[in-house]
Chains A and B, each alone.
Chain A
């Protein structure tokens, strides 16, 4: 009997869905808007993350050494820094390289170049450019140079300056902006998703409200609660499935357009992102659609099934 009942519920749900043409269309429309909002927020998060990563990449700390520092001593510090968990990578610039780069930078500044030529020896020191895994970790990296380990390697005598102290304000500010942007992005997404879910829920509730008389008749005919509820849930699930397919189709031209027009602005090609994550995105949409559709139906019909 369970099999027959399930079959009847599914057939009846599909039939109701098909026969209530306009109301089914309205719920698909509302659900599509909800899924569109959810997917857009995923896109915005991806774009935001990519922009934030770009900014993070631009933040670094450079340790300048005095001009007579031994290369081996610098290498010792480089190895020690590499072992720190916060450090992502280190670039070593030798004295000679620093001179070449300096000359390149000032190729139009004849006076400076002439002054440089007047000197017998290279006044520029070697440097280590350090990139952290996260901007908030620069402080702990700069603190390393005050640690006993660094001091034992003679850091105090060979380090000329660390530009973290000059950039501290900028780095701190950037760190808080990044953290803030993430929090704000999450909060806005959450609010928008909740609003769309409430709208979808209300629409489905309204549609079931219109059927309250029929639900009452079904009860009087002797149909059990599950048998009455079943077809409404099936219709809700169908709305979810169709809406997720519609949304995924809508996003094909949308992401192509965004990919063509907005790649420079947002930092990633959203069409490529869409193609790479297609399956994942579709599963999220399908899952959200089916869950919202069925749970809304269950909640909405509950009050009419009490005695």
Chain B
């Protein structure tokens, strides 16, 4: 599904990723771990085409993500749900509107929005908060809203960049369980984290990055740093 082919990313002289080759298949749950500055976020930015690689290529199925036209890139992004550590919600929109916006963006009609949004709100337990604005929510609620926005469009892939970084253990648990549930339904998930307990909970494939290189790729969820 996603294929990194000898990818290197440099910011001026600073090497963020060096000669990375990874394959992620459909339906996988992949955790990417490493210290701060190991290159985890750069890796997710490359998949989303927020950044371009200095060398190498990133493929989505058979297409080079960084050679997509503006229009095709928009269509590709519609197949990917994103969850960030800093939530990145639309501050001017309510909880309901934040989720509905993702559906409007992919041109769903009013009936579908009217049907699906309450369903997802219930799934992430935010029904009572539907008319609140992001600044009125707690950290855990914000992250659940971000997940709701990511899954509402039923994407093929969800990228969660340190989604538990700003959460306490109880909220972390909730978020991880939610992601596992989504993965069980067939969605591929790429999760970056440096939280050991999260990995212990997931027990899936773990790719370890250090100084921009892959130093370990385990199928059984070991956290060794």
- Contact B92–A222 (Cβ < 8 Å): no
Complex: A216 Cα to B90 Cα, angstroms: 10
- What chain B residues lie within 8 Å of A213 (beta carbons)? 88
* Known contacts A222-B106, A223-B101, A227-B104; A307/B73 CB under 8 A: yes
* Known contacts A15-B92, A20-B92, A214-B92; A221/B73 CB under 8 A: no
Using a CB-CB cutoff of 8 Å, which residues 2-58 of chain B contact chain A?
A: 48-50
- Contact A222–B102 (Cβ < 8 Å): yes
- Contact B92–A220 (Cβ < 8 Å): no
Taking the complex as formed, is B105 at the interface, i.e. its CB lies under 8 A from any CB of chain A?
Answer: yes
- What chain B residues lie within 8 Å of A15 (beta carbons)? 92-93
- Contact B88–A224 (Cβ < 8 Å): no
Binary contact readout A148-177 vs B (1 if CB under 8 angstroms, 0 otherwise): 000000000000000000000000000000
Taking the complex as formed, is A4 at the interface, i.e. its CB lies under 8 A from any CB of chain B?
Answer: yes
- Contact A307–B105 (Cβ < 8 Å): no
Using a CB-CB cutoff of 8 Å, which residues 175-222 of chain A contact chain B?
A: 213-214, 216-222
B149 to chain A, nearest CB (A): 7
- What chain B residues lie within 8 Å of A5 (beta carbons)? 107
B63 to chain A, nearest CB (A): 15
Identity of the chain A residue whose Cβ is nearest the Cβ of B101 in the assembled complex: A221
- What chain A residues lie within 8 Å of B105 (beta carbons)? 218, 221-224, 227
- Contact A222–B101 (Cβ < 8 Å): no
- Contact A217–B78 (Cβ < 8 Å): no
Identity of the chain A residue whose Cβ is nearest the Cβ of B146 in the assembled complex: A217
- Contact B90–A220 (Cβ < 8 Å): no
A8 to chain B, nearest CB (A): 6
Taking the complex as formed, is A1 at the interface, i.e. its CB lies under 8 A from any CB of chain B?
Answer: yes
Identity of the chain B residue whose Cβ is nearest the Cβ of A222 in the assembled complex: B78
- What chain B residues lie within 8 Å of A4 (beta carbons)? 109-110
Complex: A19 Cα to B89 Cα, angstroms: 15
Task: Give which listed residue, B88, B104, B153, contacts A217 with CB less than 8 A.
Answer: B88
Taking the complex as formed, is B82 at the interface, i.e. its CB lies under 8 A from any CB of chain A?
Answer: yes
Taking the complex as formed, is A44 at the interface, i.e. its CB lies under 8 A from any CB of chain B?
Answer: no
Binary contact readout A52-73 vs B (1 if CB under 8 angstroms, 0 otherwise): 0000000000000000000000
Taking the complex as formed, is A225 at the interface, i.e. its CB lies under 8 A from any CB of chain B?
Answer: yes
Taking the complex as formed, is B70 at the interface, i.e. its CB lies under 8 A from any CB of chain A?
Answer: yes
Task: Give which listed residue, B48, B70, B106, B110, contacts A220 with CB less than 8 A.
Answer: B48
* Known contacts A213-B88, A221-B77; A307/B109 CB under 8 A: no
Taking the complex as formed, is A49 at the interface, i.e. its CB lies under 8 A from any CB of chain B?
Answer: no
Identity of the chain A residue whose Cβ is nearest the Cβ of B52 in the assembled complex: A307
- Contact B90–A218 (Cβ < 8 Å): yes
Taking the complex as formed, is A269 at the interface, i.e. its CB lies under 8 A from any CB of chain B?
Answer: no
Complex: A8 Cα to B93 Cα, angstroms: 13
- Contact B102–A221 (Cβ < 8 Å): yes
Taking the complex as formed, is B136 at the interface, i.e. its CB lies under 8 A from any CB of chain A?
Answer: no
Binary contact readout B190-206 vs A (1 if CB under 8 angstroms, 0 otherwise): 00000000000000000
B: residues with CB less than 8 A from A are 48-50, 70-71, 73-75, 77-78, 80, 82, 88-93, 101-102, 104-107, 109-110, 149, 153
Query: Which 6 residue pairs across A and B have the least CB separation, nearest first?
Result: A222-B78, A223-B105, A222-B77, A217-B88, A221-B102, A222-B105
